Structure 1
Amino acid sequence: MPRPVLKHEQRKALIIVASVLGIGVALANASVVSLLAASPVEGFFRNSKNFLNVWFVKKGWFWTSLLLLLSVALNHFNSKTRAAFRGLVRWVLATLCWATMSRLMHHSDRLLGQCRNASFADPYSCRKGESVWDGIEISGHAFLLSFAFLCIAEESSALDAIYKEDVTMSHTISRQTWSQPVAKVLSALMMLFQLLWIGMLFVTGLYFHSAMEKIFGLAFGVLFWLSVVGLVSCIPENYIDAPLGQAQDKNEIVNQQQGIFGDAAKAAAGSPLNDTHMRLRNPTTHGTEL
């Protein structure tokens, strides 16, 4: 069967970001925001200087990079060379996408708009001259939050799969004493930031930017994430060789165990004890020595 383009976890993450932003936009257009005008919660989130926005969202790629690189370091120090390499490639590509999009958003308002007063050529001078700049500004929050959520979800899924598989492998028991608890803590942190990013994405859909600007931001976030996933999937599984003396996948371990048991069975078959047992079972073929 042909390999599916996206895994189940990846499709689920896409559905989550699209649904959350879509619900926020729908509620904003349905005038639900006006019903929350007197709420202190509404006042907190509508204020762009709230601590969640200042310390987390505006520094969103720093926190996301920290989690992704911690996952890479954990895999590296736990001798999971292939997983560490793929995670590092994912982070490098994602960072390039984030930097490219940051530059694009900086110039998008000027490229996609114009001032109603033709004497002003850029958004800053247009607004300073008390005129109106008609253009489409890509929502940076919608892009960053959706892109960061998808990147963390991808790394978290890979991390969980690796360390859940380790539980069934006897040769990794000595390393599990420290790597398993650390992996659990890191997975919990990733889940916490996924909840924060998806919550702030809903707030963005509810309070900030126009619907078209948020749709553009989400579309670019999904597009860049799909590009990263597609490029990483092109890396051959055996591109990075395993360290000497270590089996890197379950099939190799099973083959080794089968070889050990097979050698033990052959040794037992040729032992004197086994020969005595055969004589006891077949006295007629071995004379009357017993």
Structure 2
Amino acid sequence: MSTRRKPLSNSQFISTPSTTIKTTPATRAGAPFLPTRLEAQLLAIYPLTLLLGSVFSVLSPASRAAPYSADLQSHDPAFAPSYFAQKKNVFNVYFVKKGWFWTTVAFFAFVAMWPGFGRGVSTKRVRATLRYLVVTTWWVFVTQWFFGPPLIDRGFRFTGGQCELLRDPAAREDMSDTREYITAATCKAVGGVWKGGHDISGHVFLLILGSSLLWFEFLPALTRVEGLRDGRKIVLADGKLASVAVEKDPLTESEEPTTRGVKFSLGVAALMWWMLLMTAAFFHTWFEKFTGLLVAFWGLWVVYFLPRANPQLRAVLGMPGV
């Protein structure tokens, strides 16, 4: 699909190897680090999904009849109301628990296939990879390691939680250092139960962070294919506010490879949404899911919205499609 360019007054056109970036004075008020209407609609899907799943868990007769274990953060396996309510379902074991692997595969498949990144090791590919690395670092800090236990486990301990074995004097006698068992993984390894504090939903965090990373990266590709306008606003180096639109260049882009790259990423993002809905319906309390959402949104905001208001940060991380 080709688009007709209409000359606008007070416009600047900046040419790159694969796109033309049109910078025009911003015509509407608002902070540049806030989402556009399209981005806001996209982000709204996540809280609505959590709400839908939570409502389903309350209204579904099967869910109400199945005992829920706060320690397991799921329904009793013997009375699971659905196949997806079992932690050992194939999608949870091989997709959600390996979610960042699938996010990584989908991301680099898109980066490799989409012609909008240019040829070879282009600046756009480097900046996209840097954005991926920053988001991945946030995932590592929250779920894997943060100069010791990850932030999820630190938050659990801060809110009063601990390994149940630490409450048992007989079990503590055999421990040379009781504070050694401070993460969920090490607690489970010694037969303990992680309980007593607030546990941010790691599944909600991962599924929202991973799928949003993919959406924000290939959204410019979708807007080009559909001929939609991109209304992102940025702060220029001189402090002025401007709008940025990336127009499709039919001479350097073909839709077929773009579609191939986007289709696979869309498939991964769609499956992540489905598993987010299943998580919302069958696992965790509403507050655990809500905090998982907030922590994921915080990392996304730093990478995809803050650079629009900070020219120095934007010079390093860039913006998808620009």
Determine if the TM-score, normalized by the shorter chain, exceeds 0.5: yes
For the pair 1:193 / 2:268, whether they are aligned, the reply is yes
1:71-220 correspondence runs (5 A): 71-73=110-112, 74=114, 75-78=116-119, 81-102=122-143, 103-114=150-161, 117=167, 124=187, 133-161=195-223, 169-172=249-252, 176=254, 180-220=255-295
Whether the aligned pair in 2 keeps the contact of 1:17 and 1:146 (CA below 8 Å) is yes
Q: 1:188 to 1:112 in 2, by over 3 A?
A: same
Deviates more, 1:17-26 or 1:230-239: 230-239
For residues 16-35 of structure 1, the C-alpha deviation after alignment (integer angstroms, 9 at most, x for no partner) is: 01100111122223454436
In the aligned structure 2, how far is the partner of 1:211 from the partner of 1:195? 22
Q: 1:158 to 1:42 in 2, by over 3 A?
A: farther
Which residue of the partner structure matches residue 11 of structure 1? 40
Deviates more, 1:15-24 or 1:225-234: 225-234
Structure index of larger Rg? 1
Alpha-carbon shift at residue 89 of structure 1 (Å) = 2.5
Which residue of the partner structure matches residue 29 of structure 1? 58
Whether the aligned pair in 2 keeps the contact of 1:33 and 1:206 (CA below 8 Å) is no
Alpha-carbon shift at residue 150 of structure 1 (Å) = 1.3
Which residue of the partner structure matches residue 104 of structure 2? 65
Alpha-carbon shift at residue 224 of structure 1 (Å) = 1.2
Alpha-carbon shift at residue 101 of structure 1 (Å) = 0.9
Amino acid at match of 2:213: C
Whether the aligned pair in 1 keeps the contact of 2:99 and 2:206 (CA below 8 Å) is yes
Q: 1:135 to 1:169 in 2, by over 3 A?
A: closer
Amino acid at match of 1:12: Q
Q: 1:201 to 1:77 in 2, by over 3 A?
A: same
Task: Considering fraction of residues, name the structure with more strand.
Answer: 2
Whether the aligned pair in 1 keeps the contact of 2:307 and 2:313 (CA below 8 Å) is no
Alpha-carbon shift at residue 210 of structure 1 (Å) = 1.6
In the aligned structure 2, how far is the partner of 1:134 from the partner of 1:170? 59
Deviates more, 1:40-49 or 1:63-72: 40-49
Identity %: 23
In the aligned structure 1, how far is the partner of 2:152 from the partner of 2:119? 39
TM-score normalised according to structure 2 size: 0.61
Q: 1:171 to 1:60 in 2, by over 3 A?
A: same
For the pair 1:20 / 2:49, whether they are aligned, the reply is yes
Q: How many residues align?
A: 233
Structure 1: tracts of 5 or more residues without a match:
241-247, 250-290
TM-score normalised according to structure 1 size: 0.67
Whether the aligned pair in 1 keeps the contact of 2:211 and 2:273 (CA below 8 Å) is yes
In the aligned structure 2, how far is the partner of 1:235 from the partner of 1:160? 25
Amino acid at match of 2:156: D
Corresponding residue SS for 1:171: coil
For residues 246-278 of structure 1, the C-alpha deviation after alignment (integer angstroms, 9 at most, x for no partner) is: xx99xxxxxxxxxxxxxxxxxxxxxxxxxxxxx
For residues 71-91 of structure 1, the C-alpha deviation after alignment (integer angstroms, 9 at most, x for no partner) is: 333444547945324322221
Q: 1:112 to 1:33 in 2, by over 3 A?
A: farther
Structure 2: tracts of 5 or more residues without a match:
1-27, 67-78, 144-149, 173-177, 228-245
Whether the aligned pair in 2 keeps the contact of 1:72 and 1:83 (CA below 8 Å) is no
In the aligned structure 2, how far is the partner of 1:22 from the partner of 1:97? 25
For residues 97-133 of structure 1, the C-alpha deviation after alignment (integer angstroms, 9 at most, x for no partner) is: 11111121233333322468485766739x9578x93
